[in-house]
Amino acid sequence: MLTHAQIWSAIDRLAARAGLSPSGLAKRAGLDPTTFNKSKRITPDGRARWPSTESLSKSLTATGATLDQFVALISESGRPAAEAVPLIGFAEAGAGGYFDDGGFPAGKGWDEIPFPAVEDEHVYALEISGDSMHPAYRDGTIIIVSPAAPIRRGDRVVVKTKVGEVMAKELKRKTAKTLELKSLNPDHPDRTLLAEDVVWIARIMWASQ
């Protein structure tokens, strides 16, 4: 018997194999971009919402996949789907054009890497260069950043300031007026920023080793 989770996992895999996010797959299929969003898979009253036959058919057509291939994706649902995650170098993150005002990836120039499906469809990756964040992050480390994830004291975060500076720090304290950050490298000083000088802050969810 097919389960709700298996069907949605197969859709995620179908999107990932085409190098798309679930919303990207919906747009390519000519559907509302939110059709396959994770928030749409459960109704407000807690009932499972299933994708329609029409949306599945259009998605297969848009990706050139056959029904047999989709069934094969269902059988793989025991393993997490890999999605194409946007990637740029950490040093490039401060340049204009890569993020919108909310800290979500935007514009051109992004590369991509495969990464197991995550809840935040706006997740992105940054590649560390140099040793300024050693020993926490070495040169070449990939960090996965989620702009939609809740942030608490002790979380590692990426912060962008109004002057274009981008930094990775540990959140010590956040108030309505200031942001206190602990340096990941003991050779670098901690920072305290005025809230009005911060454009966005996003949580680091994972780092390669």
Q: What is the DSSP letter of 147?
A: T
pLDDT in tens, 74-131: 876 555 555 678 888 998 888 878 888 788 888 778 888 777 655 567 889 999 988 8
* 1: pLDDT strictly greater than 80: no
Are residues 200 and 100 part of one domain?
Answer: yes
Q: List beta partners, residue 89.
A: 127
| Same structural domain, 64 and 97 | no
Q: Across residues 3-32, what is the average pLDDT?
A: 87
Q: Which residue has the tokens 């989620």?
A: 146
pLDDT at residue 46 is higher than 80: no
Distance, in Å, from the CA atom of 88 to the CA atom of 106, rounded to the nearest integer, reads 11
The pLDDT of residue 181 is above 80: yes
Q: Are residues 104 and 191 in the same domain?
A: yes
Q: Could you tell me the CATH number of the domain that includes residue 17?
A: 1.10.260
Residue 80 lies in a domain: no
| Residue 164 in domain | yes
What is the arithmetic mean of pLDDT over 51-57?
Answer: 92
What is the count of structural domains for the chain?
A: 2
Domain boundary among 50, 75, 100: 75
108 plus 25 within the same structural domain: no
- What does pTM read for this prediction? 0.60
Distances (CA, A) of 153 to 145, 150, 176: 16, 10, 14
Evaluate whether residue 161 is within a structural domain: yes
Query: What pLDDT sits at residue 117?
Result: 55
**Residue 209's pLDDT band (cuts 50, 70, 90):** low
Do 61 and 13 share a structural domain?
Answer: yes
Domain boundary among 17, 45, 75: 75
Smallest CA-to-CA distance from 205 within 136, 151, 167 is with 151
**Does a structural domain hold residue 41?**
yes
Which H, E and C letters describe 69-112, residue by residue?
Answer: HHHHHHHCCCCCCEEEEEEEEHHHCCCCCCECCCCCECCCCCEE
Domain extent for 113: 86-207
Same domain, 68 and 118: no
CATH number for the domain harbouring residue 179? 2.10.109.10
